[in-house]
Amino acid sequence: MIFSRTLKCVALLTACVVIVSGCRTPSTDLTDEGLLGFDDIDAVDGGGIPLGARFEDGIPITDVHFENVLFGYDSFVVESSQAAKVEAVADYMRRSPEVRLVVEGHCDERGSRDYNMSLGESRALAVRAYLVGLGVDGGRVQTRSFGEEQPQDSGHTPEAYRLNRRGVFALFR
């Protein structure tokens, strides 16, 4: 923290010097990316648990439903407010060893379609990682991103967007 505060001071000073000096074009120079130091990303969540082979021939279970996990804008973090929904699924999966699950990841319509495919997949994988953390065998859980292609609510309101940023549980036997 102290280190960080010192750095902040240095940073502010630098910024002031730059402003005062009125300065030359600083760089959008492409070699300056080193400042962002993105090699040290902390691995905290979500991924890294390889997917097992696909199962495509299951029979959909239509009489058991679980609530969708909702996500924040441009986020694939399973919020604590959503945890109970995932835990309910984990309980069910532990009690029903024959059941397999596809977690479907969806996005609202904002952002590019291609990026939203990846974001939707990250959401599905985050839910899957949570399930695995609760003791569900990862081999029973597949993911499928629909990006922004299949909104639950086709409106363009904040409420529609909130409902569309979701993880859906599709169960198979």
Partner 1 sequence: MRGVRAVLIVVFGLLLIVGAGDAYGAADTTVIKKGAQRYTIEISSLKQVGGASSQLFLRTLEKDLVYSGWFTVVPQGGALKAAGTCQDSAGMLKVQCALQGVTAGRTYFRRTYTGASNRARTLAHELADAIVLAVTGKPGIASTRIVMIGKRSGGKDLYICDADGQNMMQITKDRAVCLSPDWGPDGASLVYTSFRGGYPDVYYVDLSSGRWKRIAGYPGLNTGAEISPNGREMVLTLSKDGNPDLYVINLSNRRLTRLTKTPHAAEASPSWSPKGDKVTFVSDRSGAPQVYVVNKNGGNQKRITFRGTENVSPDWGPDDRIVCSSRRAGRYQLSIVDLVARKESQITSEYVDHESPSWAPDGRHIVYARAEGYQTEVYVLDTMSGPPLRSLRLTTLQGDWYAPAWSPK
Choice between 91 and 153, CB closer to partner 1: 153
Choice between 32 and 79, CB closer to partner 1: 32
Determine the angle formed by the axes of helices 83-95 and 113-133, rounding to 10 degrees.
60
Choice between 40 and 159, CB closer to partner 1: 40
Min CB(161)–partner 1 separation in Å = 13
Choice between 93 and 146, CB closer to partner 1: 146
Q: Cα(38)–Cα(15) distance, rounded to whole angstroms?
A: 22
Length of the chain equals 173
Closest CA to 137 of 124, 149, 128, 146: 128
Choice between 89 and 103, CB closer to partner 1: 103
Q: Cα(134)–Cα(128) distance, rounded to whole angstroms?
A: 10
Binding residues (CB under 8 A) for partner 1: these are 1, 3-4, 7-8, 11, 14-15, 18-19, 23-33, 35-38, 40-54, 56, 74, 76, 111-115, 117-119, 121-122, 125, 129, 142-147, 149-150, 156
Question: Amino acid letter at 68?
Answer: N
Min CB(92)–partner 1 separation in Å = 22
Min CB(68)–partner 1 separation in Å = 19
Min CB(40)–partner 1 separation in Å = 6
Residue 52 in 3-state DSSP? coil
Closest CA to 118 of 61, 32, 46: 46
Q: Are 103 and 142 spatial neighbours (Cβ–Cβ below 8 Å)? A: yes
Min CB(95)–partner 1 separation in Å = 25
